Structure 1
Amino acid sequence: MPRVPVEERRRQLVAAAFRVIGREGFAAATTRRVCAEAGAPLAAFHYCFDSKQALLVELTEQTLAELVDIQTDGIVVGSDVAASLRATLREYWRGVEADPNRESVLMALTQHALADPKLAGVAEAQYEAYHRTARTVLETIADACGVTWSLPLGRLSRMLIVVTDGVTLAWLVDRDGEAALAALDAFADQVAALAQPIGDP
């Protein structure tokens, strides 16, 4: 049997870990279980990763990078600030509904990283990426609509993250998409009220 290149094997193991965690939770994601899911010998794991924690770090980084790209590409500029925020949040929501497993895995990774000293800094890096993305959304919409925000951008970014996290978690529990969209639309309107034309005092 031909030997699988290291980078290809790493990708296989990361993808396998993602599937196992999403389907069965962290407790099931042993190195043996991940290798079985990937169709790889157990020895391949230690050839590719120093530890299970190293695998989880790479899983977090890859999943986050994909999510950030999707959310940045999903910024929509409409006729005004409210329309832009509504459309952008609805585009975000389409991504959630299209791949709920990704959201479940990322939330599980956050909780696991906070509880595991060997993963120190992983949750912080995850939320730093969320903050950068939220700032990009708010800056892009403000620039396109010719407005500034009446609250500091860091505070608005945190509000955006808190609301999208909460709406997503609630939907993962009850799968009420209509309620989720209603909450996001209402939040978009509230944030739009914090915009003011450039030059206003």
Structure 2
Amino acid sequence: MRAGSTRDALVAAALRVVEREGLPALTTRRVAAEAGLPLGTVHYWFTDKRQLVATTTDALLQEVRERSAGATDLRDAHRRLAAVPAGRQLALVELTTAALRDPALADLARQQYAAYRATALQQLAELVPRADADLPGGSEALATLVVAVLDGLTLSTLAEDDDEGRGRARADAAVELLLDLLQRHRDRVAPPGDAP
């Protein structure tokens, strides 16, 4: 294996372990076994578990960024993120929480939510073009609210979804409600002739 591919294989193995078994199962021994590599290989690439967690979290965040980057609107962004398998979503929640508990890793969580807000701001620019002038807190506050709503919907779907997909259907309906409210606001404050 080439050096980069060895490291990538270890990160992919770490993601699979967390996705399948949760963060407590993320040990260097478990990652080595999952990757089919000697334990020493993990220690060569990662000085400790903290570095392994940081690298794994960063890889997962990059995956989320790539998944949401091409979203055409908030509905599409929600669908793209909701399509992430439940185990992967739980892994992200666990890794984010671990990053928040460790001051050395907290910047990863900040980067995660900054990326979410950037995606929301991009999508909201057309939906609420005058947010900075018309809303308390402006576009930053609106983007923060949208991220919080979508984040909460992700968690509630994980908690409430069933074989019939009722949790996902409720989340989809909530996104439609949010979009309707934003469109109503846009239509209410649009100067004459600017309404779509």
Question: How far apart, in 1, do the equivalents of 2:123 and 2:7 lie?
Answer: 32
**CA offsets per residue over residues 154-192 of structure 1, 9 Å max, x none?**
001101111001111000011111111111111111122
Residue among 183, 190, 197 paired with 2:190: 197
1:74 counterpart SS class: coil
1:118-147: CA deviation from partner (whole Å, max 9, x where unpaired): 3232212221221122112212x34xx9x4
Highest RCO, 1 vs 2 (Cα 8 Å, sep ≥ 6): 1
Aligned-pair identity in percent equals 35
1:26 Cα deviation (Å)?
Answer: 0.8
CA offsets per residue over residues 53-87 of structure 1, 9 Å max, x none?
222222222222221222121224xxxxxxxxxxx
Please name the residue that 2:113 is paired with.
127
Rounded to whole Å, the distance in 2 between the matches of 1:12 and 1:74 is: 28
Is structure 2 residue 177 aligned with structure 1 residue 180?
no
Scaled by the length of structure 1, what TM-score is found?
A: 0.81
> How far, CA to CA, are the matches of 2:108 and 2:61 in structure 1?
11
Question: Equivalent of 1:168, from 154, 177, 196?
Answer: 154
Structure 1 consecutive aligned stretches of length 4 or more whose deviation exceeds 6 Å: none
Distance 2:120 2:88 in 1: 18
Equivalent runs, 1:62-73 vs 2, <5 Å: 62-73=59-70
TM-score by length of 2: 0.83
Q: Secondary structure at the match of 2:130?
A: strand
Change (3 A) 1:137 1:42: same
Correspondence for 1:57 among 54, 58, 63: 54
* 1:89 paired to 2:75: yes
| Aligned residue among 124, 136, 148 for 2:130 | 148
Aligned-residue RMSD, C-alpha:
2.1
Q: Which amino acid is the alignment partner of residue 190 of structure 2?
A: P
- CA apart distance, 1:94: 4.5
2:72 is paired with a residue whose SS is coil
Please give the secondary structure, in 1, of the residue aligned with 2:37: coil
Give the residue type in structure 2 aligned to 1:47: Y
Task: Give the superposition deviation at 1:18.
Answer: 0.8
Preserved CA contact (<8 Å) 1:148 1:198: no
Alpha-carbon offset, residue 98 of structure 1: 4.4
- Paired residues, number: 182
Counterpart-to-counterpart distance in 2, 1:14 and 1:53: 13
- Which consecutive unaligned segments of at least 5 residues does structure 1 have? 77-87
Q: Is the 8 A contact 2:68 2:80 kept in 1?
A: no
- Per the alignment, residue 138 of structure 1 pairs with 124
